[in-house]
């Protein structure tokens, strides 16, 4: 089988730069058609693409079929976002000479940043990859995309690109709207350094993300680097909840941290709960019932084994249920426990270990929930499992809202719905920019910047801010919000 063929960085970036004016000038309707064409194309090719993804990622067929549907759903969501139009934040202030100082004619809207580099993720070969969330939101913003192929699934990227090329050609898009470069590390560095790239979307490890962020910031002209870097996603369980429903809490928690063999950035890696033999017994039983599964590739499995070993060597850490790599290379989940006092002393216990392991932090005094929350670094999610009415909830909520991008009540963080309201991000170090999300409608905002047009004749203005509102966009005019039909 021949190796996949990708464009050079020079060729891809040149094509993207050539396509950028076309993308920026495209109407919302045309951009929505483009996104829907890609969604239809990947759905139609699912039966051909899923086996390739399975061979490269070791993920089961049912999971991959569902991921294709998520991918097309993301593309269709951004088609809705573009058609609705408020993402452009159009604002018009007509001139007023009676104000101090006098107000000229001012028209503000968001404009695309230009070509975007998207680094694909290992654990979602469809949904956070070639046509994944970063690509969909960048295209919705009007930015061409250069995809940096992940070394874990190069043949899949080549196959998806072939599907995408046909779909884009059918709607009249120039070739540079979406291109792909190879998986080598040096290719990624060269891509970020290319002067034509205006922003970067990245999902992956903290170590890799921080290194690439430095390259983006050290350019002669620095560019935004939007990195989603993983998280320990703490779960805080009150004593009342544990006493009332220990069995169901244990089962749901274990199902969440072992989902996908623990290879989700939203995996609950920290479970803060009262010391209880009943809860421990329920946890052991639930973990023992989980079927071992393979990890995405040997590199990720090796990193998991090393990380698990480091955790187990920390003083005070107890193995509640042993796991690790079995003889056939499948990985069984591991559950560890530590007293809350030890967690507050050992910062290394707060580091993410990507894979099927989680740490139970046991307390005697419920006030420790707030102490742990204050110790936790910035995270993607924080979950509260409670009955309601517990005195500890008010101070706990106050702390976790400062630490997390998504706070969850009596639910679990795995399973990130793709919606208008979703936020998949969080304070540093879970992401490189806490203001933005990589999932949900507002992900488009990452690849846009505001431009104000002052005093221009109407015929020279972009269509988005012309007086007649030819694109029928919602907008704020002289301080009053108008819908498209106003």
**Is residue 486 in a domain?**
no
- Asked if residue 56 is part of any domain, the answer here is yes
Taking each helix axis as running N to C, give the angle between helix 185-193 and helix 9-25, from 0 to 180 degrees, rounded to the nearest 10: 50
What is the distance between the alpha carbons of residues 194 and 385, in angstroms, rounded to a whole number?
47
Q: What are phi and psi of 274, to 5 degrees?
A: -70, 145
Contact (Cβ atoms closer than 8 angstroms) between residue 245 and residue 395:
no
217 and 338 in one domain?
A: no
Q: Does residue 191 sit in the same domain as residue 256?
A: no
Query: Does the active-site annotation cover 228?
Result: yes
172 and 295 assigned to the same domain: no
CATH assignment at residue 303:
3.40.309.10
On whether the CB atoms of residues 268 and 256 are closer than 8 A, the answer is yes
Together in a domain, 219 and 242: no
Q: Which of 13, 143, 265, 353 is catalytic?
A: 265
Same domain, 239 and 171: no
User: Active site includes 265?
Assistant: yes
Domain that includes residue 377, residue range: 234-409
Prior bond to 101 cis, omega within 30?
yes
Q: Are residues 59 and 103 in the same domain?
A: yes
CA dihedral 91, 96, 98, 99 (to 10 degrees): 30
pTM exceeding the 0.85 threshold for the entire prediction = yes
Task: State the CATH number of the domain containing residue 99.
Answer: 3.40.605.10
* Residue 465: inside a domain: yes
**Domain co-membership, 259 together with 154:** no
Q: Clarify whether residues 359 and 285 are in a common domain.
A: yes
* Same structural domain, 208 and 242: no
The Cα 99–Cα 387 span in angstroms is: 55
Residue 105 lies in a domain: yes
- pLDDT tens sequence for the chain (486 residues): 556 779 999 999 999 999 999 999 999 999 999 999 999 999 999 999 999 999 999 999 999 999 999 999 999 999 999 999 999 999 999 999 999 999 999 999 999 999 999 999 999 999 999 999 999 999 999 999 999 999 999 999 999 999 999 999 999 999 999 999 999 999 999 999 999 999 999 999 999 999 999 999 999 999 999 999 989 999 999 999 999 999 999 999 999 999 999 999 999 999 999 999 999 999 999 999 999 999 999 999 999 999 999 999 999 999 999 998 887 789 999 999 999 999 999 989 999 999 999 999 999 999 999 999 999 999 999 999 999 999 999 999 999 999 999 999 999 999 899 999 999 999 999 999 999 999 999 999 999 999 999 999 999 999 999 999 999 999 999 999 999 754
* Residues 255 and 225 placed together within one structural domain of the fold: no
Question: Last residue of a domain, which of 347, 374, 409?
Answer: 409
- For residues 311 and 349, state if they share a domain: yes
Longest dimension (CA), the chain: 81
Q: Are 69 and 44 in contact (CB under 8 A)?
A: no
Identified catalytic residue from 56, 228, 252, 352: 228
Specify if 416 maps to a domain.
Answer: no
Whether residue 253 is found in the same domain as residue 271: yes
Residues 288, 298: Cα–Cα separation, whole Å: 24
Tell me if 415 is assigned to some domain.
Answer: no
Does residue 426 belong to any structural domain of this protein? no
* Total structural domains within the chain: 2
Whether 370 is in a domain gets the answer yes
- Tokens linked to 164: 């995408």
């Amino acid at each position: 089988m021949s190796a996949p063929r990708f464009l050079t960085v020079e060729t891809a970036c040149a094509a993207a730069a050539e396509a950028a004016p076309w993308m920026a000038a495209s109407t919302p309707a045309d951009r929505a058609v483009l996104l829907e064409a890609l969604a239809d194309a990947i759905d139609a090719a699912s039966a051909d693409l899923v086996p390739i993804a399975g061979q490269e990622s070791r993920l089961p067929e049912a999971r991959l079929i569902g991921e294709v549907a998520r991918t097309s759903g993301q593309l269709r969501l951004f088609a809705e976002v573009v058609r609705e139009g408020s993402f452009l934040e159009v604002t018009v202030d007509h001139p007023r000479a009676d104000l101090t100082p006098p107000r000229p004619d001012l028209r503000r809207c968001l404009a695309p940043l230009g070509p975007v580099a998207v680094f694909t993720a290992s654990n979602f070969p469809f949904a956070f990859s070639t046509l994944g969330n970063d690509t969909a939101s960048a295209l919705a913003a009007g930015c061409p995309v250069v995809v940096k192929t992940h070394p874990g699934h190069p043949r899949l990227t080549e196959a998806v690109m072939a599907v995408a090329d046909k779909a884009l050609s059918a709607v009249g898009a120039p070739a540079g709207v979406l291109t792909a470069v190879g998986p080598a590390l040096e290719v990624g560095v060269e891509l970020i350094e290319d002067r034509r790239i205006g922003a970067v979307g990245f999902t992956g490890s903290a170590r890799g993300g921080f290194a690439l962020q430095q390259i983006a910031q050290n350019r002669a002209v620095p560019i935004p680097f939007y990195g989603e870097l993983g998280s320990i996603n703490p779960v805080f369980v009150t004593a009342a909840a544990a006493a009332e429903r220990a069995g169901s809490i244990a089962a749901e928690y274990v199902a969440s941290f072992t989902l996908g063999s623990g290879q989700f950035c939203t995996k609950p890696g920290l479970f803060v709960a009262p010391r209880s033999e009943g809860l421990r017994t329920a946890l052991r039983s639930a973990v023992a019932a989980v079927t071992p599964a393979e990890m995405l590739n040997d590199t990720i499995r090796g990193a998991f084994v090393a990380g698990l070993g480091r955790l187990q060597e920390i003083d005070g850490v107890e193995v509640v249920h042993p796991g690790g790599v079995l003889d056939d290379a499948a990985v069984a989940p591991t559950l560890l426990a530590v007293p809350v006092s030890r967690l507050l002393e050992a910062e290394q216990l707060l580091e993410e270990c990507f894979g099927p392991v989680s740490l139970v932090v046991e307390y005697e005094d419920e006030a420790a929930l707030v102490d742990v929350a204050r110790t936790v670094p910035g995270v993607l999610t924080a979950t509260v499992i409670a009955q309601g009415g517990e005195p500890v909830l008010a101070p706990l909520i106050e702390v976790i809202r400062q630490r997390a991008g998504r706070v969850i009540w009596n639910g679990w963080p795995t399973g990130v719905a793709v919606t208008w309201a979703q936020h998949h991000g969080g304070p540093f170090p879970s992401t490189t920019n806490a203001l933005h999300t990589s999932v949900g409608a507002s992900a488009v905002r990452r690849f846009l910047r505001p431009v104000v047009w002052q005093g221009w004749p109407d015929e020279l203005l972009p269509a988005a801010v012309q007086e007649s509102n030819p694109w029928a966009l919602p907008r704020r005019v002289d301080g009053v919000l108008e819908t498209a039909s106003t």
